[in-house]
């Protein structure tokens, strides 16, 4: 029965991984930007939730009202003032690494600015919240916070899918991702779409941050590991595929959870890297992604 | 050879060699040793990352392997680190072939991510292994080298001057090697590969072989750098020399200084390492992590405004000065 518990936990945490990977694949798929700062945006979302909840004592899920617009705004600004000029300068280079380096610098900058202001202490939401759970018999405990995280992640993925497919803005984003010049020729303001897409992606990762805060600790460096896992999931699920990202996240969550039953928890990290490398070498287009072309 | 052009660099190196006779403050020597250490590592990274154009974000794997291999051999069989140093370097080279062969198929961001994953994998493996084939690895506790006091035969000294001269000599030797590498055909092959890999292949250059060779050279010297670290600090752990931030620092210093150039990493190290040390010394007490804030900020500024590195405006200034 421990196995069922592991499976459930894996699915729940995996859905949050998937949500983070979803936002990353939006950025990666539309703008071909490697965003190493994604973990930092997650961390900003987590801190916002934590501060909001500490100051107002409301339910943490209410902080979504603050987190989403704030992160959207932040993402929009970062893309507009920081990344755009480097993108324009590098648009003719086949393998633009300038943005990769820029976002790496941003990652280190953001993580450590928060370290300076908030210190290296670990924070967590007030105790009762993360411990509530339902129990089925004696054997299966479903942690409420993780379960809600799973629900909200799936809901957010569905909303995003609907947004991309059935709204004008969403379709513009998809168009820009598929063929930038053509989209520009059709009258779409490509750079404004980039800004909006980046903002939306940051808002989504903010949601993931809020969800994580309900059962995970908050610390300035917490984003790094999630960021790297998100990349692994994006490549596993395939570039540009939203369903793939969510599914990939759940798979990674399951592997971690399962693996932890048989090998030590620190080794499961290595397992993820091994899987990542195998996917990269043998099936670079991932499970659901577009054909690998570079 | 344009003699006047090399006046300044040669004089600068000579001045650095003579420096300890005038300034013997251990703090200054320590900062300079760190500067040379990072310059050495960044120059090694630059062989693969700058000259060959393959942005590797997992070079910390090679420092870790160099340091660990050398220390493991030293601890078990008491061979002098001067000899095991080469063992570490060769071990790192073998690892680079194992990593490089599958990874070189990938390009750009995918290559960067795969090297990052490999380095993290190496770190996780080291942190979870207590002993391997009779060698002590000590998992997360790290390896402590026996303090031998002043033992030149075992690469250990009490005064910092010796370390200073050793690492400075390493840097000078590597600079000379890089200079001649660029003069030979191999340097031109690498330049062709970095500019346009398909065109280079079309010209008949064996791209895979060149990239592998660049990787071998790069990882060999990186491994030796790792051994120097082990002998200087006398304590190694996967978290100290195998961690992601070491990989990133090597790449960032080279990129900030100037990616495909010889002196670029040196300038980058002279700029960033003292900045890091000074902020860590003066500000880390009250504001922890401040030096990394500067680090990230400088990197972002350089990428945005001077993407080919600081070396280029500096070089133009220098040429203007010597031709006037």
| Among B204, B187, B232, residue whose Cα is nearest residue B29 | B232
B104 part of contact set with chain A, CB < 8 Å: no
The domains located in chain A, with CATH, are: 2-282 (1.10.3470)
CB pair distance less than 8 Å for B124 and A113: no
* Mutation target vs B (from A29, A104, A121, A274; most B CBs, 10 A cutoff): A104
Please give the pLDDT value at position A293: 41
| % of chain A at pLDDT higher than 90 | 31
Q: What is the domain extent for residue B162?
A: 3-15+25-323
Q: List the structure tokens of B133.
A: 């084939």
Residue of chain B nearest A220, judged by CA positions: B289
Q: List the structure tokens of A181.
A: 């010049």
Residue of chain A nearest B293, judged by CA positions: A109
- Inside any domain, residue B302: yes
Chain A residues whose beta carbon lies within 8 Å of the beta carbon of residue B290: 112, 116
Looking at residues A166-178, what average pLDDT do you find?
Answer: 89
B255 part of contact set with chain A, CB < 8 Å: yes
Please give the pLDDT value at position A93: 64
Please give the pLDDT value at position A193: 92
Chain B residues whose beta carbon lies within 8 Å of the beta carbon of residue A111: 289, 292
User: How would you class B204 by CB atoms within 10 Å of its CB: exposed for 0-12, middle for 13-18, buried for 19 or more?
Assistant: exposed
SS3 B176: helix
Please give the pLDDT value at position A129: 62
B315 or A79, higher pLDDT: A79
CB pair distance less than 8 Å for A113 and B300: no
- Inside any domain, residue B145: yes
Please give the pLDDT value at position B285: 63
- Quote the minimal CA–CA distance from A267 to chain B in Å: 7
Contact A224, A20 (CB under 8 A): no
- Inside any domain, residue B20: no
Chain A residues whose beta carbon lies within 8 Å of the beta carbon of residue B112: 34, 97, 100
Model confidence at A294, pLDDT cuts 50, 70, 90, reads: very low
Chain B residues whose beta carbon lies within 8 Å of the beta carbon of residue A284: 106, 110
The tens digit of pLDDT for each residue in A191-231 reads 999 999 999 999 999 999 999 988 888 988 888 888 888 88
Model confidence at A291, pLDDT cuts 50, 70, 90, reads: very low
Chain B residues whose beta carbon lies within 8 Å of the beta carbon of residue A98: 303, 307
CB pair distance less than 8 Å for B303 and A269: no
Model confidence at A96, pLDDT cuts 50, 70, 90, reads: low
The tens digit of pLDDT for each residue in A122-156 reads 888 876 666 667 776 666 777 788 888 899 999 99
Residue of chain B nearest A106, judged by CA positions: B296
* Mutation target vs B (from A280, A289, A293; most B CBs, 10 A cutoff): A280
- Quote the minimal CA–CA distance from B7 to chain A in Å: 34
Please give the pLDDT value at position A207: 94
Residue A265 has pLDDT above 80, yes or no: no
**CATH number of the domain encompassing residue B127:** 1.10.3470
How many domains, chain B? 1
- Inside any domain, residue B45: yes
| pLDDT averaged over 10-residue windows placed end to end, chain B, 324 residues | 69 84 84 93 93 88 92 87 91 92 81 88 87 78 82 82 90 93 90 87 89 93 94 88 86 87 90 84 69 83 84 84 78
Residue of chain B nearest A33, judged by CA positions: B109
Q: What does the DSSP assignment read for chain A? A: -HHHHHHHHHHHHHHHHHHHHHHHHHHHHHH----TTHHHHHHHHHHHHHHHHHHH---GGGGHHHHHHHHHHHHHHIIIIIIHHHHHHTTT-SS--HHHHHHHHHHHHHHHHHHHHH-S--B---THHHH-EEEETTTEEEEHHHHHHHHHHHHHHHHHHHHHHHSHHHHHHHHHHH-HHHHHHTT--HHHHHHHHHHHHHHHHHHHHHHHHTTS-B-TTHHHHHHHHHHHHHHHH-TT-HHHHHHHHHHHHHHHHHHHHHS-HHHHHHHHHHHHHHHHHH-TTTTT------
- Segment holding B136, helix H or strand E: strand B135-136
CB pair distance less than 8 Å for B293 and A112: yes
């Amino acid at each position: 029965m421990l196995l069922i518990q592991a499976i459930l936990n894996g699915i729940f945490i995996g859905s949050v991984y998937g949500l983070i990977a979803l936002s990353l694949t939006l950025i990666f798929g539309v703008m071909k930007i490697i965003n190493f700062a994604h973990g930092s945006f997650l961390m900003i979302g987590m801190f916002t939730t934590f501060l909001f909840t500490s100051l107002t004592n409301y339910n943490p899920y209410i902080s979504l009202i603050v987190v989403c617009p704030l992160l959207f705004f932040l993402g929009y600004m970062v893309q507009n003032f920081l990344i755009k000029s480097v993108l324009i300068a590098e648009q003719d280079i086949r393998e633009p690494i300038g943005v990769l380096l820029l976002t790496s610098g941003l990652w280190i900058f953001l993580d450590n600015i928060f370290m300076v202001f908030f210190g290296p202490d670990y924070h967590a939401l007030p105790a009762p919240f993360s411990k509530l759970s339902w129990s089925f018999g004696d054997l299966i405990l479903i942690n409420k916070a993780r379960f809600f995280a799973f629900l909200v992640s799936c809901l957010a993925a569905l909303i995003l899918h609907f947004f991309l497919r059935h709204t004008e803005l969403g379709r513009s984003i998809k168009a820009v991702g598929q063929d930038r010049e053509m989209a520009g020729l059709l009258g779409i303001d490509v750079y404004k779409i980039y800004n909006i897409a980046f903002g939306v992606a940051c808002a989504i990762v903010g949601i993931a941050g809020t969800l994580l805060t309900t059962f995970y600790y908050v610390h300035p460096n917490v984003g790094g590991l999630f960021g790297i896992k998100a990349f692994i999931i994006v490549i596993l699920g395939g570039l540009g595929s939203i369903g793939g990202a969510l599914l990939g996240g759940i798979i990674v969550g399951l592997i971690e959870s399962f693996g932890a039953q048989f090998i030590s928890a620190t080794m499961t990290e290595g397992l993820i890297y091994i899987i990542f490398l195998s996917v990269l070498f043998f099936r670079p287009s991932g499970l659901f992604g577009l054909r690998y072309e570079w | 050879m344009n003699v006047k052009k090399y006046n300044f660099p040669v004089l600068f190196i000579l001045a650095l060699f003579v420096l300890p006779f005038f300034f013997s403050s251990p703090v200054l020597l320590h900062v300079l040793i760190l500067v040379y250490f990072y310059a050495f590592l960044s120059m090694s990274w630059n062989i693969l990352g700058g000259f060959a154009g393959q942005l590797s974000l997992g070079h910390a794997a090679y420092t870790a392997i160099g340091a660990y291999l050398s220390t493991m051999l030293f601890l078990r069989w008491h061979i002098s680190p001067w000899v095991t140093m080469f063992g570490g370097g060769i071990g790192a080279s073998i690892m680079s072939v194992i990593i490089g062969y599958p990874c070189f198929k990938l390009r750009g961001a995918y290559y960067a991510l795969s090297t990052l994953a490999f380095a993290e994998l190496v770190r996780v493996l080291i942190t979870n292994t207590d002993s391997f084939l009779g060698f002590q690895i000590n998992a997360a506790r790290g390896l402590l080298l026996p303090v031998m006091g002043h033992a030149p035969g075992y690469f250990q000294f009490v005064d910092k001057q010796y370390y200073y001269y050793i690492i400075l000599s390493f840097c000078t030797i590597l600079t000379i090697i890089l200079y001649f590498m660029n003069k030979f055909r191999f340097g031109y092959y690498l330049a062709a590969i970095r500019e346009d890999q398909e065109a280079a292949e079309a010209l008949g250059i064996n791209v895979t072989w060149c990239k592998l060779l660049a990787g071998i050279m790069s990882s060999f010297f990186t491994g030796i750098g790792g051994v120097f670290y082990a002998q200087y600090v006398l304590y190694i752990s996967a978290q100290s020399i195998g961690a992601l931030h070491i990989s990133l620092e090597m790449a960032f210093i080279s990129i900030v200084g100037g990616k495909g150039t010889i002196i670029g990493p040196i300038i980058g190290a002279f700029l960033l390492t003292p900045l890091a040390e000074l902020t860590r010394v003066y500000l880390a007490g009250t504001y922890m992590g401040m030096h990394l804030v500067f680090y990230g900020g400088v990197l972002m500024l350089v990428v945005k405004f001077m993407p080919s590195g600081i070396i280029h405006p500096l070089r133009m200034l220098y040429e203007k000065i010597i031709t006037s």
